[in-house]
Structure 1
Amino acid sequence: MSIKVEMLRAFSVTAAQGTLAAAAAVLGRTPSAVSMMLAQFEKEVGGTLFETDRKSRLTPLGQLVLEESQRAIDVFDKSSDAIRRHAISTAGIVRIAAVPSATVALLPDVIEAFRAVHPDVRIEISDVDSATVRARVQRDEADIGIVSARPDAPLEGERIRSDDLGIVCPENGPIHRAHLDTQGASDWGLLSLEPLIANPLCELVDDPIVSELRFSSTLEARNTTAILSFVRRGLGASILPFDAVRNQPDGVEFFVPAHSVSQRELRKIRYEKEMMRAPVIAFWKLLDR
């Protein structure tokens, strides 16, 4: 008999629950069935995994085996999920992890064009920050990633487009009025007139005032829709790219400071060691439209 994933799962759950009865309840098995599976597992491992029959303490070997068991279960579950997703969509699947502004401004047009040619392909969108996008691509949890970067940042992936970063603020609020008074000669210092709603894009602005305000900010959001909602409610101002606010809601103003202009690039990335499937290739190419 060889080690099976059911053994790993039974051992992991028992170690977490501390008793056979509790583990059996979680696993939907009888305590005797769980006990037998653990005995078989220890036989395959070749050592004792629990210090007592009560299963409340692991041996040193048990602790090491637990870490490997949890890692193996995680990989198995992710693979099982991927298989199920492919079964749901026989035509294939495209998993996209993208920064929020790209989800709002870029992806709708790309998805519309993609569906015109591949109507049966399943598309999954994750709306996350750039660091999480990179992590998901590296862990093969996304086929394509779209990140924000400064134009002078080290080359990563392929450039899609660039646009100006600017201040988004409440209409007729202190920042908006001060901007009008400058007659187009505003700078990032206007952000100090209202609380800053911090977000990862603030890191792309090379200005000491922005760095200081971000450090002291008491409100942070990573979703473009949420940021615009907070601004509209008068909770503060933030920094967003033009693409994200081109169809800005009522009650919100956007402008690009005349001094110290900052830009961001949208770049598409993928796991280089993974061969892209045909639907993924098609979506990847459409991102350059």
Structure 2
Amino acid sequence: MTVKLEMLRTFCVVAERGTLSGAAKILRRTPSAISMVLAQLEEHIGAPLFETDRKSRLTPLGLLVLEESQRATDVFDTSVEAIRRHAVSLVGIVRIAAVPSATIALLPEVIKLFRSTHPNVRIEISDVDSAAVRRRIQRDEADIGILSAQPGDALEGEQILCDDLGIVCSEGGPVHMAHLENKGQSDWSLLRHEPLVANPLCRLVNDPSVQELLASSTLEARNTTAILSFVRRNLGASILPYDAVRDQPDRVEFFVPTNPVTRRELRKIKQNKDRMSAPVAVFWSLLERC
């Protein structure tokens, strides 16, 4: 008898639930049927996986088997999902992991152009931060990544655009009023007038006042829409690129501090493969055009 994936999946559920009855509800099988599966698995392994018949505590070997079982079922589920996605879209699929500002400001126009020549290709977009973009590319969970970087850093991929970072604040709020009092000659210290709504882009600003506010911030968001919602409701001010706020509703002000001017790049990265699929290659080229 060989170990089957369903045995490992059943074992994982029992180990997580701690009882046969609890696992039975999840698996929609009788406790006796589940017990038989576990007995077969232990017989094949040649050692017990649970300390007692109550299945509430794993043996040291059981802990190891649980870790390997979870890894095996995760890989299987990921493969099945990939097959499902490709079956849904027989003409191709483009998986994109992008920082939120790119999702809002850049991707709509690219998708519009792409749809004009590839209307039936499935597009999947993950709205994540730069670190998660890199991870998704490395794990083959995305075909194209779009991340934020500071000009002059160890560069990766290819630059799409470069724009200024600025302060986004509520209209008529303390930061906005201080900016008006300075007649538009502003620096990053104006952020001290309100709590900072932190986000990963704040770490690109090399200014002591920003770093201090980051260390004391009690509110952080990674989604641009959420950040602007918090700012609009007077929960604080934040740092974003202009492209991320230009088409947003009223009651939000944006300005670029002149001391120092800080820029960020949007860069596109891809998997280290010899060839892209045709749809992915087209989308990749359109990113540069837009």
- Work out whether the TM-score is over 0.5: yes
- The answer to whether the Cα contact below 8 Å between 1:166 and 1:240 also exists between their aligned partners in 2 is yes
Within 5 A, what are the aligned runs for 1:181-260? Answer: 181-260=181-260
Distance in 2 separating the partners of 1:274 and 1:53: 53
Shift of 1:71: 0.7
Partner of 1:34: 34
Structure 2: runs of 5+ lacking an equivalent:
none
2:6 aligned with 1:6: yes
Structure 1 residues 74, 234: CA separation in 2 closer, same or farther (over 3 Å shift)?
same
Partner of 2:130: 130
Within 5 A, what are the aligned runs for 1:38-117? Answer: 38-117=38-117
TM-score, length-normalised on structure 1?
A: 0.95
- Which stretch has the larger CA shift, 119-128 or 271-280? 271-280
Aligned residues: 289
Distance in 1 separating the partners of 2:233 and 2:53: 59
- The answer to whether the Cα contact below 8 Å between 1:197 and 1:219 also exists between their aligned partners in 2 is yes
Shift of 1:154: 0.7
Distance in 1 separating the partners of 2:46 and 2:280: 45
- The answer to whether the Cα contact below 8 Å between 1:161 and 1:266 also exists between their aligned partners in 2 is yes
Within 5 A, what are the aligned runs for 1:171-190? Answer: 171-190=171-190
Letter in 1 for 2:227: I
Distance in 1 separating the partners of 2:234 and 2:55: 55
Distance in 2 separating the partners of 1:140 and 1:267: 18
Letter in 2 for 1:90: L
How far does the alpha carbon of each residue in 1:159-197 deviate from its partner, in whole angstroms, 9 at most, with x for none? 111100001112232222322332332111111112211
Structure 1: runs of 5+ lacking an equivalent:
none
Distance in 2 separating the partners of 1:27 and 1:274: 42
- Which stretch has the larger CA shift, 13-22 or 124-133? 13-22
Structure 1 residues 274, 135: CA separation in 2 closer, same or farther (over 3 Å shift)?
farther
Letter in 1 for 2:205: V
How far does the alpha carbon of each residue in 1:44-89 deviate from its partner, in whole angstroms, 9 at most, with x for none? 3232222222222222211111100011111111111111111221
Letter in 1 for 2:268: K
Q: Secondary structure at the match of 1:267?
A: strand
Distance in 2 separating the partners of 1:199 and 1:274: 35
Structure 1 residues 39, 273: CA separation in 2 closer, same or farther (over 3 Å shift)?
farther
Distance in 1 separating the partners of 2:218 and 2:70: 37
Within 5 A, what are the aligned runs for 1:254-273? Answer: 254-273=254-273
Distance in 2 separating the partners of 1:61 and 1:252: 58
Structure 1 residues 87, 152: CA separation in 2 closer, same or farther (over 3 Å shift)?
same
Give me the CA root mean square deviation.
Answer: 1.6
Shift of 1:39: 2.1
Q: Secondary structure at the match of 2:288?
A: coil
How far does the alpha carbon of each residue in 1:215-248 deviate from its partner, in whole angstroms, 9 at most, with x for none? 1112222111121122222222111001111224
Distance in 2 separating the partners of 1:236 and 1:22: 46
Distance in 2 separating the partners of 1:256 and 1:236: 17
Distance in 1 separating the partners of 2:158 and 2:114: 19
Letter in 2 for 1:241: P
Distance in 2 separating the partners of 1:102 and 1:282: 18
Q: What is the percentage of aligned positions where both structures have the same residue?
A: 71
